[in-house]
Amino acid sequence: MAFNIYDFTSFTEWIDQGLRSVMSPAWAVITELAIIGIVFLVFYALIGLILVYAERKICAFIQCRIGPNRVGPYGIFQTIADFIKLLMKELIHINKADKLLFNLAPFIVIIASFMALSAIPFAKGLHPVNLNIGIFFILAVSSMGVVGILLAGWSSNNKYSLIGAMRSGAQIVSYELSVGLSILTACVLIGSLQLSVIVESQADGWLIFKGHIPAVIAFVIYLIAATAETNRGPFDLAEAESELTAGFHTEYSGIKFAFFFLAEYMNMFLVAAIAATIFWGGWMPFHIGNWEGFNRVMDFIPPIIWFFGKTVVIILIMMWFKWTFPRLRIDQLLTLEWKYLLPINLINILLMALIVLLGWHF
């Protein structure tokens, strides 16, 4: 079996055939699920550690500081040290808190983002679950995270936690509309909800270029709404430190707090990966018309590098948002969605439908 970094299909088939040759088909499937689960757990932890370190360094750069520089060269082991500290911290029991829901909430938040990650196509042949309703599945399971946030705020028996949870619920439910409509605008052009089909349809050009102005508008609205939906600055009203201490996770400590912290960064990776997949072609290389030489050079770059490169660029834009713009008030936050983004989105999806109907797209 020749390992090919441009197409992982043969590699995954080799693993499947190897397992089926030594065990029954049922046990082979169970073993494959276990392998995928372990890989995802390791990937989840690594993404969290890398993004926390990256945000600290980017924040420091924007604010003319150095950032982490003590633990390891350039402070690269700082997040590992922090993670070990959180693991060793005492889990504080809150008086009059609902113990079952209080302990269950962080797991709901982290499981929701974990499930959404399973439908992301990382490269050709490296797609854990290729559902024909992939977009719908991601929107459905990622929306479950707000249930964990509401439970965390309500079960903590803390007024600051409850206010933070209610803010987060209003914010996520509101901006979920703009996220869904902007993705639906892209699906109108592609004509499919299957993520693998969406990526393959962009082989002759990324959707943000093929869909003209409506695709650009949909991408910009998605970026704003997704930033708000993940409770990232300048939309971090749910955990506004100056007003609510730490919002819905004020009463959490140790590993349970780490779960909320980790889920926030994984959600940021998820929304960036979805944007890269739908609007920027996923793992497809960048091609320009009939520029054969340029296109061949782009084809030499492995698809998985293209995917992670695009995702990183979008994550950097989201981090730049957070450390550049001041936090909005809650009324400004909801006004932005209901009075501006949602009407623009509705008009934009009609415009995209008109362009598709008249065949004006590339």
Q: What is the pLDDT of residues 19-52, one digit of tens each?
A: 888 888 889 989 988 998 899 889 988 998 899 9
Residue 1 has pLDDT above 80, yes or no: no
Q: How confident is the model at residue 242 (pLDDT cuts 50, 70, 90)?
A: low
Cα distance between residue 126 and residue 49, in whole Å: 23
Q: What is the pLDDT of residue 327?
A: 82
Q: What is the pLDDT of residue 255?
A: 84
Q: How confident is the model at residue 282 (pLDDT cuts 50, 70, 90)?
A: confident
Give the tens place of pLDDT for each residue, 215-241. Answer: 999 999 999 999 988 888 788 776 666
Helices (H), the chain: 9-22, 25-62, 78-88, 99-117, 134-142, 145-155, 159-190, 195-200, 207-210, 212-229, 241-244, 254-278, 292-300, 303-322, 330-335, 342-358
Q: How confident is the model at residue 350 (pLDDT cuts 50, 70, 90)?
A: very high
Q: Which residues of 23-39 are buried (b: 16+ CB within 10 A; e: fewer)?
A: eeeeebeebbeeeeeee
Instruction: Please tell me what DSSP assigns to residue 234.
Output: T
Q: Percentage of the chain surpassing pLDDT 90?
A: 26
Q: How confident is the model at residue 182 (pLDDT cuts 50, 70, 90)?
A: very high
Give the tens place of pLDDT for each residue, 340-349. Answer: 999 999 999 9
Over residues 239-258, mean pLDDT: 73
Q: What is the pLDDT of residue 95?
A: 79
What is the chain's mean pLDDT, rounded? 87
Over residues 112-121, mean pLDDT: 88
pTM: 0.90
Over residues 279-307, mean pLDDT: 87
Over residues 267-285, mean pLDDT: 92
Give the tens place of pLDDT for each residue, 257-266. Answer: 888 888 888 9
Q: How confident is the model at residue 180 (pLDDT cuts 50, 70, 90)?
A: very high
Q: What is the pLDDT of residue 245?
A: 66
Cα distance between residue 64 and residue 55, in whole Å: 14
CB 135 within 8 A of CB 263: no
Domain ranges of the chain: 1-88, 97-358
Residue 328 has pLDDT above 90, yes or no: no
Residue 43 to residues 26, 161, 197, 259, Cα–Cα distance (Å): 26, 30, 25, 15
Q: What is the pLDDT of residue 210?
A: 84
Q: Percentage of the chain surpassing pLDDT 70?
A: 96
Give the tens place of pLDDT for each residue, 70-105. Answer: 888 888 898 889 888 888 887 777 878 788 888 898
